[in-house]
Structure formats: C-alpha cells, structure tokens
Amino acid sequence: MNQPVFSSVPTAPVSAPAKNAHVIVLGNEKGGSGKTTTCMHIIISLLRLGFSVGSIDIDSRQRSLSRYLENRRQTMLKEGVSLPQPQHIVVQRSPFNIVAEAEADDLERFTRALERVKAANDFVVIDSPGSDTYLARVAHAYADNVITPINDSFVDLDVLATVDGQTMKIIKPSIYSEMMWEQKLHRAKRDGGSIEWIVMRNRLSNIDAKNKRFMTQVTGDLSRRIGFRVAPGFSERVIFREMFLQGLTVLDIMDGAGTISMSHVAARQEVRDLLRTLKIAAIDEKLKKTGKDDQDDDDDSVEETAAVPAAPEAVAAPVAEIAKEQPAAPEVEIAPKADDKVLAAIAPQAEPVVVKEEAKEPVHSPLEKHLVELAG
C-alpha cells in the first residue's frame, strides 16, 4: 500500500540494476488473444509466490493492463483489503512526428522504464498492444521470454504462419514470426543474450474435436520449423474474464477466505502449468513447495462445497456442468478436399446426386461444316 501503483519514468538515467530481473513480454500483433488476462495472472501468481514484480504497459492507448491494476486498487480501497501489487509503469508513445526522432524517443522512454523496474524486482512483465508498433518491437528485443497467446483457431494461427488449407502444410512464416527472428538477432548483437519464445494455445476446449487435433499437428510442425515451444494455455473459463472490473484473478479467490470449486482448482493449475513452461529454477522451486501446502487446503475446501462428484481429471468437472446445461452442437468434419467424405459428413443419409447430361452434337457454322467435309 505504501508503494504507488503507477509510477512515472524518471528524467535522469539510473545506475546499473541491483537485480538481474527476468523479463517476460506478452506479445501478439492480433488483438483478442488473451494477452492482458494472461499477463495479469502471471503477475499475481509471481507475487503470491513471494517474488517482487514490476510491470510495464506499452499500450498507452488501450491501457488494458493499467485499467486492470487500477480496478484492483479501487477494490482494495472500497473493501479495505490488502492485495499484492506490482510496481507499474505506463510508457507513453513519443509525441514527435518525424519517424527517426519518435523512435529514438520511444527507445529512451522504454529503456529508462525498464532499468527502473529491473533494479528493484525479481521479474518484469510487459504487456504489449495487439498491433505492430516500434515500442512493441523494442520490448520483444529486451525480453528473456516472449509468450504469444493465440486462440485455438486457424484464424489466430495465421499470426504465426501461412498454412495450406488442403494439405495442412506450412507455406511460409508470418510477418510476426519474421519479426521475432529479427529481435532475437538484435538481442544477440546487443548483449549476447537469447530470447525463449513460447506460444500459448489459449481458450482450449476440453472436448476433442478435429480442429483441435489439426491445431496440435500444425503448431507442433511450426514449433520445429520456426523455433518456439508450445505451452499449455487457459481453458475457456468464465472465471478468467469475469473479475476484470474488480481487478482480481483466480489466484486471489483461491488465497481468500471464500469457498472454492473444482473449476477454481483447475484454473489455478493451468496458471501454474504455464509458469512451469518457463523452466526457471526459482519458480519451479517455489511451485513445488507451494503445491504441497495447497493440496491439503484444496481438498478440505472442495469437500465442503462438493455437490458434483469428482471427475477423473480436474478439467472434466466444469465441462460436465456446461454439457448438462447446453446440448452439444453437431460437429461437421471438414476434410482437406471437398469429396464424397465431406458430403457424407454433412448429410450422411443423402444419396449422392448424379447429373447426367445428354450428348449433344456440336453446332457448326456453314464454313466450319465445309472444312469438316474437306477434312473427311
């Protein structure tokens, strides 16, 4: 509470960082992929594990992360509760109109903000806009980890590569993938460091579908060709989005005094699985210790509110609840080519219709008839 939520960028250069903070950038040039939701859950998860965290919002126009944190601050004031908060900075875009001057100003603003939060924290988490900006490219170049959330859809897969719709083969990497390679080169030239790129399949369905299997196949092929690791993402759960106005996350609910359900437990596990994908020893050690302590608490809390019998897997319970309320939509199998298999999938009972055309004699002009007679 003593530390302000929003800080301004200092006007004078700071000294060398006192800590070697690990920088995580959430990046995707396509909006609506869940960057801010993922960013917020990573921040709060790290804070509740005992790490100090700084956050930077370089989307000064939309400011989704900043509004999320402001909502959190208002909840603390209104409810009289204490919640962990990061040291937060918003980096404004340069007001200059000349491109070279604007980019130089953006670079200075960003590096000063980054140096400030790196000097005081264990981790720095950066939320970027859903578009191509110079600030976003700079942030990628300073990352230790880049996490790219994508919805589990071929529409979102286009941000990574162009895929042949018939053969499911990769035609070429996307502009964003090429940009990632450029920033990896910039990072290597600047300080000899490397960037670990992680693609996170978000809003996963717990029901097996052909689209999901195709996505698994294509993302696996892309990971080997382009050079990223695939991380388990967040399932399609309302709980990940419904607490934005309060500035809360599923981790706040789990650590509070309220009752929890299997959906809460599964959602928290998904956040922790994402953190494990980073393969950072300090995080893994904290998760291992915290997991043992939480297991007993979760068992006690779930027993008090267990109205639904436990499913074999944690994610099965919320899916079963939804399935009872809504009838399952018929799945249409889409084959690589529009042949009889597609017709059979769309209308299994329908017999194929064969249209026969009667043979017609070709119509010739008098000159053509004369030429035909001569040729005969």
Give pLDDT, residue 208.
60
Q: Tokens 């904290």 identify what position?
A: 286
Q: Tokens 């090429």 identify what position?
A: 178
Measured in whole angstroms, how far is the alpha carbon of residue 48 from the centre of its chain?
21
Considering only CA atoms, which of 149, 177, 157 is closest in space to residue 25? 149
From the CB of residue 370, how many other CB atoms can be counted at a distance below 10 Å? 11
Give pLDDT, residue 127.
97
Give pLDDT, residue 94.
93
Strand, helix or coil at 351?
A: coil
Question: Checking DSSP bridges between strand 161-163 and strand 170-173, what pairing results, if any?
Answer: antiparallel
Considering only CA atoms, which of 178, 212, 193, 63 is closest in space to residue 129? 63
Q: What is the arrangement of strands in the sheet containing 22-26, beginning at the earlier edge strand?
A: 6-7, 87-90, 53-57, 123-127, 22-26, 145-151, 196-202, 229-232
From the CB of residue 180, how many other CB atoms can be counted at a distance below 10 Å? 25
What is the secondary structure of 195-221 as a DSSP string? -EEEEEEESB-SS--HHHHHHHHHHHH
Residues of the chain with pLDDT under 50: 1-17, 302-360, 370-372, 374-376
Mind listing the pLDDT tens digit for each residue in 253-273?
887 656 678 888 888 999 999
The angle, 0 to 180 degrees and rounded to 10, between the axes of the packed helices 262-277 and 35-48 is 90
Considering only CA atoms, which of 96, 4, 40 is closest in space to residue 241? 40
Q: Where are the beta strands (DSSP E) in the chain?
A: 6-7, 22-26, 53-57, 87-90, 123-127, 145-151, 161-163, 170-173, 196-202, 229-232
Give pLDDT, residue 11.
38
Give pLDDT, residue 255.
77
Give pLDDT, residue 204.
66
CA distance 149 to 228: 12
Reduce the secondary structure of 96-117 to three states and give it as a string.
Answer: CCCHHHHHHHHHHHHHHHHHHH
Considering only CA atoms, which of 114, 93, 115 is closest in space to residue 104? 93
Integer-rounded Cα Rg, in Å, for the chain is: 27
The pair phi, psi for residue 208, each rounded to 5°, is -70, 130
Mind listing the pLDDT tens digit for each residue in 240-250?
777 899 999 98
Give pLDDT, residue 190.
93
CA distance 184 to 348: 51
**Contact (Cβ atoms closer than 8 angstroms) between residue 219 and residue 232:** no
Q: Which domains does the chain have, with CATH numbers?
A: 6-325 (3.40.50.300), 341-375 (no CATH)
CA distance 8 to 81: 25
Give pLDDT, residue 356.
47
Q: Within the chain, how many helices (H) and strands (E) appear?
A: 13, 10
Q: Tokens 């005094």 identify what position?
A: 257
Considering only CA atoms, which of 197, 187, 204, 39 is closest in space to residue 124? 39
pTM, entire model:
0.72
